[in-house]
Amino acid sequence: MSAQPKKIIILGGGSAGWMAASLIQKAWADKGTEILLIESDVINKIGVGEGSTPALRLFFNYLGIKEAEWMPACNATYKCGISFPGWTSKDDPAYADFSAYIHPFYSQADWKTGNAFMHNARLRRDGIDVPAHPDDYWLQSYLAKNFKSPIAAQQLRDEMDYGYHFDSALVGNFLKERLLSMGVKHLVDTVDDVTLNNSGEIASLITKANGEQNADIFIDCTGFAARLISKALNVDFVDYSDSLFNDRAVAIQSSIDCTQDIPSQTTSTALSSGWAWNIPLSNRYGNGYVYSSKYITDEEAEKELRAHIGKSCEGYEARVIPMRLGRLTHHWHKNVLAVGLSQGFIEPLEATALMLIQHTVELFISHYEEMFTEQRDTAGQQNIFNSQLNEVFESIKDYIVAHYRLNSRTDSQYWCDNRDNTNNSPRLNALLNAWHTKGGDFEAELTRHNAELTYFAPSWYCLFAGKGHFPTTVTKPEQHIKVAPTAEIINYCQHVSQQFSVHNEQLAKVYGDKWPKSK
């Protein structure tokens, strides 16, 4: 046997299927692996989110695809971070200065100012009256608030990290056209049956028009249906609904005028029974309301979202999307790898869906090759792989759950129930206790519980500090206590941010003659 499969069948297209095909083609096609992607033309593809983490930039860089090539084809814009307005109480004076904050994509440029923020946040946690709002310390927050791109007009010593906003369906189509031109095989067909061999592995897929299709490895990209991993192999599912209440989303587009300033941030605004996203593309805004059906009906959610968006969504249809939050116990089982919604989903609050697709496939490629170089049996290698991937899911889940536990709203039962819910992991409980205990070593708990697997300490600090979780009684710092110079940092960040291109202007440069000239 070789360190790569002879043939892989990917069942399902969309962003999951074509991202998986892209990574496998890059890694194994020149080593003889045949790739066949089968997708149906009657299944609607779900596009829950249209934002990314900086991982997507690494994805395109790895494939050698320039921004000027893919961004115009996918109506993409730049993303400096995510703004979270409305997650704190409007009536409690303790949260008056924390009505919103930005979770930035920080980089080397933020090293000194970021450490200053965390230093002041530690002091504020101990009841010392010092400035500790994250937006003052991170360069990306200044870029986002001033409609700047994360691209400097002139070369700086430290390059910024950033994500993107995009049309996820167009990303899938872009990758599809690219791969078909590179020889990846493609069938538009429906799978009528799945056959298993004596070992319980998938032997073949029986398609309606093209008959039996065989492979060594099958990749399940069939969305929530999980046609192979769940229905054929009966892999168990770990439900997250006891700690994450939201099970629905309603999505509505709205118009955008590209002659006006285009935001370089996702906005995630807390509403009565969940939160609403607003994502700027080059041709429209993407909007949605992620909510719990136990607290609001689909009709009520649509009405509330339309009122939140305003007139710019008039004439656009609403689409309701059921969501199943959780993960599989085994993402790679026998000869099937689940990728995308088929393997699990954590609501799109931090735009982690494409990152998980990318991470899953890259980790699979690495582990599959290692299985041969280290001469390990398949089951043992799969156990290591599944354990690592499950830990990533759990780490992201804890970060998302923390958003809800730290809310301070009292205007609806939904927010009160989320705050009072005690279905937390031991790790999240330890972090909550450490932060809220005077003298508690928060960073030691992050390390002890491996909480920085997906979100580093600055992100956790932004989350707790951004939602205003500090003592209400504070004292002035004594003379011997060193306080980070916030006023100087603000001046510094304001000065540096002026060296970055206006978002619209940078997009026009990347798009060239494809940039829209008017509304």
State mean pLDDT over 399-410.
98
Residues 170 and 314 grouped into a single domain: no
**Quick one: pLDDT at residue 158?**
73
Calculate the average pLDDT of the chain.
95
* Residue 390 located in a structural domain: yes
User: Which among 7, 26, 31, 79 is annotated as catalytic?
Assistant: 79
Is residue 192 pLDDT above 90, yes or no?
Answer: yes
Question: Domain range for residue 188?
Answer: 7-75+166-238+330-395
Q: What is the pLDDT of residues 172-187, one digit of tens each?
A: 999 999 999 999 999 9
The pair of structure tokens assigned to 435 is 């932060």
Task: Look up residue 89 and give its two tokens.
Answer: 């109480």
Same domain for 336 and 318?
A: no
| 449 located within any domain | yes
Same domain, 222 and 344: yes
Based on the fold, state whether residues 39 and 95 are members of the same structural domain: no
- Note whether 234 and 354 are same-domain residues: yes
**Helix (H) or strand (E) segment spanning residue 70:** helix 67-70
The closest alpha carbon to 132, from 458, 396, 495, 403, belongs to 458
Neighbours of 514 (CB within 10 A): 13
Average pLDDT over residues 58-69: 98
Neighbours of 45 (CB within 10 A): 17
Nearest partner of 174 among 74, 299, 287, 286, judged by Cα: 74
Whether 156 is in a domain gets the answer: no
- pLDDT recorded at residue 1: 54
Could you tell me if 19 and 355 are in contact, meaning their C-beta atoms sit under 8 angstroms apart?
no
Alpha carbons 390 and 235: distance in angstroms, whole number:
14
Find out whether 253 and 514 touch, Cβ atoms under 8 Å.
no
478 alpha-carbon distance from chain centroid: 42
pLDDT of 16-42, one tens digit each?
999 999 999 999 999 999 999 999 987
CATH classification at residue 173:
3.50.50.60
45 belongs to the catalytic site: no
Residue 442 forms part of a structural domain: yes
Q: Find out whether 16 and 221 touch, Cβ atoms under 8 Å.
A: yes
Residue corresponding to tokens 């192979």: 228
Would you place residue 48 in the very low, low, confident or very high pLDDT band (cuts 50, 70, 90)?
A: very low
The bridge status of strand 7-11 relative to strand 34-39 is parallel
The total number of structural domains that make up the chain = 3
**Is 283 contained in some domain?**
yes
Residue 70 counted as domain residue: yes
pTM recorded for the entire structure: 0.96
Q: Which of 292, 322, 352 is where one domain is finished? A: 322
Whether residue 285 contacts residue 312, with contact meaning beta carbons closer than 8 Å, is answered with yes
- Residue of 397, 388, 384, 386 whose CA lies nearest to 336: 386
Q: In this structure, are 260 and 388 located in the same domain?
A: no
Q: Are residues 266 and 143 in the same domain?
A: no
Q: Clarify whether residues 337 and 386 are in a common domain.
A: yes
For the sheet containing 332-333, what is the strand order?
185-188, 34-39, 7-11, 217-220, 336-338, 332-333
User: Does any domain span residue 92?
Assistant: yes
Does residue 302 share a domain with residue 174?
no
**Residues 56 and 92 occupy one common structural domain:** no
